[in-house]
Structure 1
Amino acid sequence: MSRVLVVLTSLALAGPALAKDAIGLSVSTLNNPFFVTLRDGAKAAAAKAGVDLVVLDAQDKVDKQVADIEDLVQRKVKVVLVNPTDAAAVVPAIERANAAKIPVITVDRAASGGKVAYHIASDNVAGGKLAADFLCKLLGGKGNVVELEGIPGSSAARDRGKGFNDELKARCKGVTVVARQTANFDRGQGLSVMENVLQAQRAIDAVFAHNDEMALGAVQAIQASGRPIKVVGFDATDDAVKAVNACKMAATVAQQPAEMGRLAVEKAAALLKGTAPAKTEFIPVALKLVSNASCK
Structure 2
Amino acid sequence: MIIDRRTLLVGTVGSAAALAIWPAFAAVPPLKKKDTYKVGFAQTESNNPWRLAQTASMQDEAKKRGCQLVYTDAASSAAKQVADVNSMIAQGVDFIFLAPREEKPLIPAVMAAKKAGIPVLLIDRSVDPSLAKAGEDYLAFVGSNFIQEGQRVAEWLIKTTGGKGKILELEGTIGASPANDRKKGFDDAIKAGAPDMVILASQSGDFARDKGRQVAETLLQAHSDATIIYAHNDEMALGAIAAVEAAGKVPGKDILIVSIDGEKDGVQAIVDGKIGAICECSPHFGPKAFEIMYSYAAGDKIPPVIINPDRFYDASNAKEMLASAF
Q: Distance in 1 between matches of 2:269 and 2:227?
A: 18
Instruction: State the match for 1:248 in structure 2.
Output: 274
Q: 2:150 corresponds to which letter in structure 1?
A: G
For the residues of structure 2 that align with 1:196 and 1:222, how far apart are their CA atoms?
Answer: 11
- Mean Cα deviation higher: 286-295 or 107-116: 286-295
Kept in 2: contact 1:51–1:269 (CA 8 A): no
Matched, 1:118 2:131: no
> Any idea what the Cα deviations from partners look like across 1:15-34, whole Å, max 9, x if unmatched?
xxxxx721111111111211
Which residue pairs with 2:49 in the alignment? 33
RMSD (Å), alpha carbons: 1.9
1:185 equivalent in alignment to 2:203? no
* Structure-2 residue corresponding to 1:290: 313
Instruction: Please state whether the residue corresponding to 1:24 is helix, strand or coil.
Output: strand
User: What runs of 5+ residues in structure 2 fail to find an aligned partner?
Assistant: 1-27, 30-35, 319-326
Match of residue 81 from structure 1: 97
Shift of 1:48: 2.4
Q: TM-score, normalised by structure 1?
A: 0.88
Comparing 81-90 with 39-48, which one deviates more in the overlay? Answer: 39-48
1:234-292 deviation line (CA, Å, top 9, x unaligned): 1001111111111111111112211x232112222334x34364x65333422232111
C-alpha contact (below 8 Å) 1:107/1:261 kept by paired residues: no
| TM-score (normalised: structure 2) | 0.80
**Aligned partners of 2:163 and 2:193 also within 8 Å:** no
Contact 1:49 / 1:269 at 8 angstroms: preserved in 2? no
Report which stretch shifted further, 282-291 or 204-213.
282-291
Matched with 2:304 is 281
The one-letter code of the counterpart of 1:267 is I
For structure 1, which runs of at least 5 residues remain unmatched after alignment? 1-8, 11-19
Contact 2:38–2:95 (8 Å) recurs in 1: yes
Say which SS state the counterpart of residue 181 (structure 1) adopts.
Answer: strand
CA spacing shift, 1:252–1:202, aligned 2, 3 Å: same
Paired AA for residue 263 in structure 1: K
State the identity %: 32
Q: 1:168 aligns with which of 176, 187, 190?
A: 190
Q: State yes or no: 1:141 paired with 2:141.
A: no
Q: State how far apart, in whole Å, the 2-side matches of 1:233 and 1:145 are.
A: 13
Per-residue CA deviation, residues 196-216 of structure 1 (Å, 9 max, x unaligned), is 011100111111111111111
1: CA distance between counterparts of 2:71 and 2:305? 23
* Paired amino acid for 2:183: G
Moved more, 124-133 or 226-235: 226-235
3-state SS of 2:173 partner: coil
Q: Please name the residue that 2:72 is paired with.
A: 56
| TM-superposition CA deviations, 1:31-88 (whole Å, max 9, x none) | 1211111122222222222211222111111111010001111111011111111110
Deviations 1:140-175 (A, max 9, x none): 211101111011111100110010011111111111
Q: What amino acid sits opposite 2:75 in the alignment?
A: Q
1:203 maps to a residue whose letter is D
Q: Deviation at 1:294? A: 9.5
Q: Determine the structure 2 residue equivalent to 1:224.
A: 246
Instruction: Note if 1:269 corresponds to 2:294.
Output: yes
The higher radius of gyration belongs to 2
Q: Check whether the contact 2:203–2:215 (CA below 8 A) recurs between aligned residues.
A: yes
Please list, as runs of the form range in 1=range in 2, the aligned pairs for 1:8-47 lying within 5 A after superposition.
21-47=37-63
Moved more, 79-88 or 39-48: 39-48
- What letter corresponds to residue 134 of structure 1 in structure 2? W
What amino acid sits opposite 2:42 in the alignment?
S
Counterpart residue type for residue 67 of structure 2: V
Residues of 2 paired with 1:294 and 1:129: CA distance?
A: 20
CA contact 2:210–2:239 (8 Å) conserved in 1: yes
Task: Indicate conservation of the 8 Å contact 1:23/1:268, yes or no.
Answer: no
3-state DSSP of counterpart to 1:257? coil
Q: Equivalent residue of 2:174, what SS?
A: coil
Q: Which amino acid aligns with 1:257?
A: P
Per-residue deviation, 1:186: 0.7
